[in-house]
Amino acid sequence: MCGICGFTGEIENRAKVIETMTDLITHRGPDSAGFFADNNVSMGFRRLSIIGLKNGNQPIYNEDNTLVLTFNGEIYNYKTLKEELIDQGHKFYTDADSEVLLHGFEQWGENLLNRLRGMFSFAIWNRKDNSLFLARDFFGIKPLHYAVIGENFVYGSEIKSILAFPTYEKGINMNALDKYLSFQYSVPPETFFEGIYCLLPGHYLWNKNGEIEIKRYFRPEFAPDENMELDEAAGKIEKVFEESVNVHRISDVDVGCFLSSGIDSSYVASYFKGEKTFTVGFDFGERYNEIMWARKVSKKIGANHHCKLITSEEFWNAVPEVAYYMDQPLADPSCVALYFVSRLASQHVKVVLSGEGADEFFGGYNIYKEPSAFNLYKKIFPKPVRRFLAKMVSLIPCGFKGKNYIIRGSKELEQRFIGNAFMFSYGEKRKLLKDPSFASKPQEFCSSFYKEAKDYDDVTKMQYLDVNLWMVGDILLKADRMSMANSLELRVPFLDKEVFKIASALPTRLKVTKANTKVALRKAAQRHLPQATAQKKKLGFPVPVRVWLRSKKYYEIVKKEFLSENASKFFNIPILINLLDEHFSNKSDNSRKIWTIYTFLIWYKIYFEN
């Protein structure tokens, strides 16, 4: 796991510029640094040594030094590819997985990408024709950002490297703020910084003669096998997942595992007998503290368990630091908890495995039950009646049980689901934003994804949306940034293309029922875990923000930011204070909306006041 950055073209003090850009991502690779420069490009690299400890430093070159590589990630099938390339006459001088990319690119060009198994973002400079090739892995595990700044093309694992480029003029992207207010994350490919973009998962980019060409080489497509039965599915999952965990454990250093109370991380950890597991929690009762559950699982599988209880003061003090490492605001408070568990793990190991991706691939979110929950309602009441009922109950100012069901049941999936988070509606954003012209309807943005998924059933459409948006913009972004902030490599064996082949073939009845989620995955996990763990309800990574915001101390902390000059640049202050006061007085639960605004304001202070 490493960090890369670079730029093409001439600029004053080039050596100092690339050194500064590289130093800013030292946390991604504190073990060593590497540089390459010629008249047309400058490339920087930071290394966290995992494989090929003695001779895996970068940049790496091919036999005649015409290709130069910097690489972030791991290639798990590199030994097989290396043997194939040696048979083709290629000569290797390192033991590192990264060298396979160079010779593979020589041999197969862009077709190399679909041969890879792993997580990656990398840059290859061709000294013969002065072309630059960038690529990002299938599901977006490893990040890569880029910008055209004057005559220069600039790229980096993290945005902070690009911000350090001397001629970049920093400006906030209001379109990103608009989407963030609905989705709770910056929706790729845009970022919060004007002119800086995210290379999307499954895409590669060519920069040749000042021209940029971006193409998609991989699209996650679902192809359900309706003849598949539960036991057959569980057997296939068990076989492919065990193999995936084994290849994800390939390392020349110690490997540990994150562990919560849920099925995903527990299933991963069940292959870690005698090794290290890591858990954090909060002192707010069982709902916010999974340490006891995790400790029981660790004992059951014979792992060495490490845990930490995060205090309220520690959490709130860490928010600015987390915002810095995130590069962009993310209104998911679990990223702060992830920062702490990564810090805990980094004290014992260099690599951890984690359970990200299981929910998106195997149908794990509770909201995926919603389509079946509306089936009977839709049969009884035709659409005009449902719309009339929704209009009537929406006029009732107070909340009551069933109100949200009636309102959501009047809408088609494409209107009610934009992903696992839906913070502010179009109407709410028009009232909230100082300049309402920036407000857009999130459903319109999602329409292209629904068009791509038009032949899927509703549950699979939801999965497709989450794989392409939520998983990339929230789940994997925080996993990368929070682990790398602590110089820790995080690997995700669920997010393996061989695992996806099995997951994508599952019929919906083996993913979600009225009673449960991840049906087939739970069946497979039950062969390795206690039934109570394998069947435990999805909780996510619970953080007591709702509780904190009803205490005077944290109410006042947030209120200070809501009344600040920065807040007045973007928002109508009375709306903010009303949200906060309603929550504080227990009239409604506005905690997620409040946290969305607060996180943005803390991030803005860090990146635009300094």
> How far is the C-alpha of 61 from the C-alpha of 334, rounded, in Å?
40
Closest CA to 68 of 29, 118, 105: 105
Residue 175's H or E segment, with its range, is helix 174-183
Rg of the chain's alpha carbons, rounded to an integer? 24
In the chain, count H helices and then E strands: 28, 17
Closest CA to 283 of 318, 312, 315: 312
> How far is the C-alpha of 119 from the C-alpha of 248, rounded, in Å?
10
Closest CA to 214 of 82, 110, 328: 110
> How far is the C-alpha of 450 from the C-alpha of 454, rounded, in Å?
6
What DSSP assignment string belongs to 72-90?
A: EEEETTHHHHHHHHHHTT-
Residues 6 or more apart whose CB falls under 8 angstroms from that of 181 comprise: 423, 424, 429, 432, 433, 596
The one-letter amino acid code at 2 reads C
Q: From the candidates 5, 307, 335, 446, which is the catalytic residue? A: 5
Can you tell me which residue has the tokens 């999936």? 413
What DSSP assignment string belongs to 443-462?
A: HHHHHHHHHHTTTS-HHHHH
The total of other beta-carbon atoms located within 10 Å of residue 224's CB is 17
> How far is the C-alpha of 136 from the C-alpha of 205, rounded, in Å?
9
Taken in order 107, 111, 112, 116, is the CA torsion positive or negative? negative
* Residue 5 among the catalytic residues: yes
Tokens (6 digits) for 69: 């590589």
Eight-class DSSP state of 188: T
The one-letter amino acid code at 325 reads Y
Contact 187/331 with Cβ under 8 angstroms?
no
Can you tell me which residue has the tokens 């909780």? 539
Closest CA to 194 of 360, 328, 313: 328
Burial per residue of 440-469, b for 16 or more beta-carbon CB atoms within 10 angstroms, e otherwise: bebbebbeebbeebeebebbbbbbbbbbbb
> How far is the C-alpha of 276 from the C-alpha of 135, rounded, in Å?
33
Contact 193/172 with Cβ under 8 angstroms?
yes
173: Cα separation from own chain's centroid: 21
Taken in order 454, 457, 461, 467, is the CA torsion positive or negative? negative
Can you tell me which residue has the tokens 């015409």? 66
What amino acid positions are annotated as catalytic residues? 5
